[in-house]
Structure 1
Amino acid sequence: EALIISSCEDGILMLWETHVKSSTKSEDWTPVVLHNKARFIHLSQTIEALQNEEQELKRNQEYRLHQIETTYVADLQRRTDMSLNERQHHENIIERQLIEKEKEQRDFEAKYADLKEKFENERQRIEEEDRENIGRELQKEGDLIRLAQKIMEDNESRLKATMEASENEIRDIAEYFTGKIRETENELVALRKKSRLAIDSNEIEKKNLEADVDDEQLKIKLEFENERRRLIETNAKLQKEFKETHEYQVHILNLKQAEQETSAQTVKKRIQDNVLRVQGMSEEISSLKNEINERKQTINEKLDRISDLELKNQELEKFQYVLNYKIEELTRLIQPREQEIERMRNQLLEMASEREKKETELSRNRFHNVEQKRTLHAVNTQVEYEHQKRKEYDNALRRIKNDILAHFADVSDPKSVKNAVAHLYEKHVQNDNVKSIYTTADISGAVSEEIQAQDRQRLFLERTTSDLKRKLNSDLHATKANRMRIMNENALLLQELNNLRQELKVVRGRIQDYEVAKKTFDERSVHSIDALVQTLNADAGNYVVRHRDSELIKEVQKNQQEILHLRQHLSRVQAGYSPLSTNTNVNDDTANISILKLV
């Protein structure tokens, strides 16, 4: 009864000390006080629960942010390590390719220098030969000029000796010798032209002789085959004729013998004639036998020739086997390169899938960051709401304190105290809609330490969110740059794959060309080098066809060199990409075998 408890709508309890002089009470304060006390306890519990929930949310937010940061840093480190390893691998590949290109360039420069040196030597040799020829011609011309000068001197001496005799004769002699000099000069010019024409004709004749030799060989072979057929036919005819004549003679002899038996006396002379005729026939038979033996010898020689051709055919089959072996070797060299291309394609697909995974993970992280931002915004709004409520509580406290200071200036008067309490109760408890504005001299002094701690926590959260935003932007830029780098590397790898596909197409086209050429040679029954030359020179007869055949042979040799070059390049590339396969050595004896051994 010595204390009065009052409360406002904000749940603030106030204790008033009173002095009761009379024994009567005007009002009963117990139910109101108990009701306001329960309300105050409930409000304080809700405030503590909200503060605990706020701290729990802050701790969860900090833990999640720390977890995201650690995972992101680990993922970023792993990605950087992978990108550095890939970059080192690609740099090593590019370095090996550059070394191979430099080596090829050096080889090309060495070959070019050798060819240039050979060309210079050939040119110097030709120039020296031309100089020698010109020197010889000039020497001949000088000899002729000296001879002419000598003759002129002799003529002058004779002219001087015979000047007194006849000036006309001297003039005629001078004209005669000048004409001779002109004739010699003309002869010299003609000789030069003739020598040049002779050289040209010799070259043309040489080419024609080579062509004629080839044609003559072809003609001789054709004549040999025709003669062989003719001899075989004549042999058959002779055998048939011999058989017919022999049967005819036997029949005649039988008839004559029958006639001789009937008329022995009249046929004695004919018997001698028949004996002589039989002797002649026997001699003819012996000569025919000798001729048959000679034909058998020629047939045996032809059989020997056929056996030689079969041996050459076996050699060509061996050569065909070597060619097939080379083709299989080329295909075997192409297969690991195709496997390498397939592996690079799979690697590109893996990199693309990994990039998609990273993009999905980044999008998931962005979505998670957005959710974290939303939760942080909700927490910030809740904190601001709590700050506003706390400010309202502080303002209510200040208002109540000001009212207390204003109405309880004199506590000794119980009536004024009672009226002041009733006024305060009516103002702060019953009349909720009334709002009075009070001003204080120092508002910041009423701010408690808890509000300052909450402000510090809010500033800390704002700084952490700004740092997280800045890190997120930097990570986005880094991932964008990494993505661009991966795209550039993918473009380079695709370009290299396209180049390798073009090289494979070229090699396959050349293999198909050689297979087609082999099929054509098999269709034409080319089984020896001579027959190959005959088939290549089947249309020979003029210089244009021979020139075309020579160009074909040059093209074949050029293709051989190109195949060797491609084989070396494939072996180098294979050694660069798969070092384990460097132990497979190519046979050096078969590497230099040409496809067409045309001599």
Structure 2
Amino acid sequence: MSKLNANIARQASFSFACLGEEAARLEEKRIYDLKKKNQELEKFKFVLDYKIKELKKQIEPREVEVVEMKEQIKQMDGELERAHKNSSALELTISAQKLKLEGMQREIRAQRTKIGECESSSDMMCRELYDCVQLIQDPKALKAAVNQMYQRHVATAVVTHAADTEVASEHARQRECLEKSVESLKRKLNKNMELHRADNQRMMQENVALINEINELRREIKALKATQVASGPRHKGGVGSDRSFGSRGMRGGLEDAFLDAASFRSDSREELPPL
């Protein structure tokens, strides 16, 4: 019995020792697993911290963009308000233009009516003028018909109106155009005068030379006449008549040359303009 109890006690102590070692091994294994999980969690924490930092870096420019977008929204709100104001002003302008257009249309209709009346009155006047022309042989009837036309068509005195701005501007434009034309013609005239001045000078020199030649011919004619007068009483008969005939022929030739030169001088004076 004592041996049995001793065996039981020994087995119990051995079993307790085995159970303690198993529990310690299990505890160590559990601690190892916990440490491993802790390391993995540390890794996840590091990764999550890095992701959080990256997200913060991404969020910061987004926040700046949000602020800028808010400013743009404020500006767009201001532009929208100004656009509404402009739209209201344009609506007022459009309504005013519509009223003005309606007034102009009424005026156009009135002017068309007036033009129609004027055309009918003009046709009537043309017919009455034709009837008056038929009375051209009867002055009294013609005068009475014209007086009737005057009393019928001329209700009030004719009022002369001053020229409007368009007529004045057109007059100024035509005047400017004419002044430019006059200036261009003056330049052309001066150019032509410069071109013909040399020819005129040459013709004047030729005219002076011809006048000198005519004067010489006149002196020769006077000398021949004096010679004929001096030799006339000395010579008689056929010889004298032949000489007188020869002198007359020479004198006639000189006189013809003198007349030709004089006619050329007069023609040149008529053709040449005064310098």
TM-score (norm 2): 0.42
Write 1 or 2 for the structure with the bigger share of helix: 2
**Greater RCO (Cα-Cα under 8 Å, separation 6 or more):** 1
Greater Rg by CA: 2
